[in-house]
Structure 1
Amino acid sequence: MNNRYSRQELFRGIGPSGQQTLFQKHVLIIGAGALGSGSAEVLVRAGIGKVTLVDRDYVEWSNLQRQQLYTEQDAEERIPKAAAAQRRLKEINSTVTIEAIIEDAGVEEFEKLQKDVDLIIDATDNFDTRMIINDISQKYGIPWVYGACVGSYGISYTIIPGKTPCLHCLLESVPLGGATCDTAGIIGPAAGMVVSYQTAEALKLLVGNHGSLRTKLVTFDLWSNQHSAISPQGLKKEDCLSCGSKPSYPFLNYENQTKTAVLCGRNSVQIRPAGKDRRDLDKAANLLAKTGGKIERNPFLLSFEISGNRLVLFQDGRVLIHGVSDISEAKKIYHRYLG
């Protein structure tokens, strides 16, 4: 073989033996946006044996500012992100097996996807999927690296079954909403920084150098020049239903998943989050106002209209997406604006 990986092999943390190990590894990346495309490129260039990339969306013009694998032609043709990423990644490194899956992965899909996977990288845009990743990780003993970014803020945390607290320990329940890239914007360097944290941890895990793993949850804000790292080890719960002594993996159960239903004859989809918390309509209105969409309120609900779609938010957490009858498209709109 040529000297393609010579500089990586010179690095003491990997070396020739570590490089040979990387050739045998399989990484599952959930999401092919800024974090997913960035992580995929780093790992493919590093010579990972196989990368499976899962994404339900297609390339849009607003993606090009930060999602580095895509081109204007991809946006013009609305190429699915997984397919566009696969094509570009094969051009970058033809020796790596690149599997592209264009679908909205749920529990059933994850049960199939986890086979022969050595590591999962979170590059999704919602906590519903992250909690499923978390339970799949604990059930099958697969480490995963959590990451998220919005605005100039980013966060990353490495979860190893049996050793670290899981995401369920840290969050207790799925949040109903928060800032998204469509409500708060995002700058490319924030995504790039999270990618760096995630892929550095990935390489450590894949070569078996666990002693070098970052044990803390790291957060940063590049615009306000803030950086912090906290140790979450004390948050591990013996009775956690995902990673405790008697796990039941609750987020793999139907009753704890977001429910969707097409409303007959109305060109609308209802989305009902699994959480029991009431939605703060004032907070939601403040976030959505930043998008420039039209907002109307009454004591019972909030109506938000943008780009030909109307979202109606209820206090019990339900959201009606009007102007669409496809569930995948409705979920895309939901997560775009409500997190």
Structure 2
Amino acid sequence: MSTPLKIIGTDERYSRQERFAPIGAEGQRKLKDSRVLIVGAGALGSGTAEMLVRAGVGHVTIIDRDYVEWSNLQRQQLYTEQDVQERLPKAIAAERRLRAVNSSVEIQGVVADVTVYELEQWAAGQHLILDATDNFDTRMLLNDYAMKHNVPWIYGACVGSYGMSMMFEPGMTPCLHCLMDTVPIGGATCDTAGIIPPAVQMVIAYQTAEAIKWLSGNQPALRRKLVSFDLWTNQSTALDVTAARRDDCPSCGKAATYPYLEAANHRKTETLCGRDTVQIRPAKPQQLIIAEVAARLGHAWGSTVQSNDYLLAVHIDSYRLVMFKDGRILVHGTKDPVEARTIADRVFG
């Protein structure tokens, strides 16, 4: 009777990590039992996702609203030229690659724009949330959700050669809302000021180090400071922001109201940061059958319509419109929401 073949090396996958004394076998077991939500699958999201999947975090969910483009390949490490040519949504391309990296981890890619609805659906039961977004509004939404539901989250941002990161723990640290008046966390974007890959990797290292500490049960090792750096000017700081915590903060104070979870603060139409692109979000979530929409549009717009299982694109004049299965539309070629809605109505009705 033949003996079943054994895949060489599977028993040793995490051996070097377990030999690191603060983690050990018990910490590795905790990582396996952990659930992490990563919001954004761009430079930071793809990097943190790969590192956590390789580290053996048991369940990783990645939400992203965009698809892979040529300009992403310079720094977004999970993606390939084929992903660009197929116009794959980042969440789908990331899921495919990560499954090939570690088949023992449960990975879920979600193609969606993050609103309260998506957070309530996908953040419930998560042990940690990682910020890999490209806009301030979504970060404030994450912050309010995390504070309300007592879930820690890790902020990360980078542009040019500069980056910053901090882990926010409900009840232990100030929240992002507390820091708004004291820390410069807005400004330039990758699309306006560019970015170098080492800055991305540095922020990824800071974020994932804190994530692994937290998930493996090493909370005393957490930094609990706002770290920032500039690799080009050789500067770095770790700022103690404990004093910034506010009892009257509307997001984490004694009488918190969580203002960014209110419907009045949710934009239906928005200009994507630093890009000639407007996103139009439907009033309520949808689930379109892309092939049916593409067939209908093909009668009117002919060969300008291209599609795959996840999205369709239409080229009209100087515009490129992309529709996703959830009904979102990206209008490339304008920063004007009114103009974007006009051209979207012209194409999609």
TM band (smaller chain): 0.7 to 0.9
Query: How far does residue 208 in structure 1 lie from its aligned partner after superposition?
Result: 1.7
For the pair 1:75 / 2:75, whether they are aligned, the reply is no
Residue 38 of structure 1 contacts residue 69 of structure 1 at CA under 8 Å; is this kept in 2? yes
Quick check: 1:26–1:50 contact (8 Å CA) kept in 2?
yes
CA distances 1:278-304 after superposition (whole Å, capped 9, x unpaired): xxxxxxxxxxxxxxxxxxxxxxxxxxx
2:340 matched to which residue of 1?
322
Q: Which one of the candidate residues 242, 255, 272 is aligned to 2:251?
A: 242
SS at match of 2:335: strand
* Number of residue-to-residue matches in the alignment: 281
Shift of 1:323: 7.5
How far the C-alpha of 1:159 sits from its partner, in A, is 0.3
- The residue identity in structure 2 corresponding to 1:54 is I
TM-score normalised by the chain length of structure 2: 0.76
Equivalent residue of 2:199, what SS? helix
Identity of counterpart residues, as a percentage? 56
Q: Does the CA-based 8 Å contact 2:73-2:79 persist in structure 1?
A: yes
2:155: which partner in 1?
Answer: 146
In the other structure, the counterpart of 1:309 is 333
Structure having the higher Rg: 2
For the structure 1 residues 41 and 321, does the alpha-carbon distance in structure 2 shift closer, same or farther, using more than 3 Å as the test? farther
Cα offset, 1:154, TM superposition: 0.3
Counterpart Cα distance in 2 of 1:239 and 1:172: 13
Q: Measure, in 2, the Cα distance between the counterparts of 1:37 and 1:321.
A: 32
Conservation of the 8 A alpha-carbon contact between 1:241 and 1:248: yes
Conservation of the 8 A alpha-carbon contact between 2:115 and 2:266: no
Give CA deviations for 1:187-231 in whole Å, capped at 9, x if unaligned: 100000000000000001101211100121011011111111110
Quick one: structure 1 residues 143 and 230, their matched pair in 2 at CA, closer, same or farther if it must change by over 3 Å? same
Following superposition, the deviation at residue 326 of structure 1 comes to 5.6
Summarize the Cα distance change of 1:269–1:199 in structure 2 as closer, same or farther, 3 Å threshold. closer
Q: Contact conserved, 2:157 with 2:165, CA < 8 A, in 1?
A: yes
AA at the equivalent of 1:139: K
Structure 2 counterpart of 1:105: 114
**1:30–1:121: 8 Å Cα contact kept in structure 2?**
yes
CA contact (8 A) 1:165 1:233 kept: yes
Shift of 1:175: 9.2
Question: RMSD of the TM alignment (CA)?
Answer: 2.5
The Cα of 1:114 is off from its aligned counterpart by 1.7
- Residue 205 of structure 1: aligned partner: 214
Q: Secondary structure at the match of 1:66?
A: coil
| TM-score using structure 1 length | 0.78
Partners of 2:136 and 2:186 within 8 A in 1: no
* CA–CA distance in structure 1, aligned partners of residues 90 and 204 of structure 2: 17
Instruction: Kindly state the Cα deviation for residue 111 of structure 1 after the two structures are TM-superposed.
Output: 1.3
**Structure 2 runs not aligned, ≥5 long:** 1-9, 271-277, 282-330
How do residues 55-70 of structure 1 correspond to structure 2 at under 5 angstroms? 55-70=64-79
Q: For residue 305 of structure 2, what is the aligned residue in structure 1?
A: none
Cα distance between partner residues in 2 of 1:257 and 1:28: 21
SS in 2 for 1:311: coil
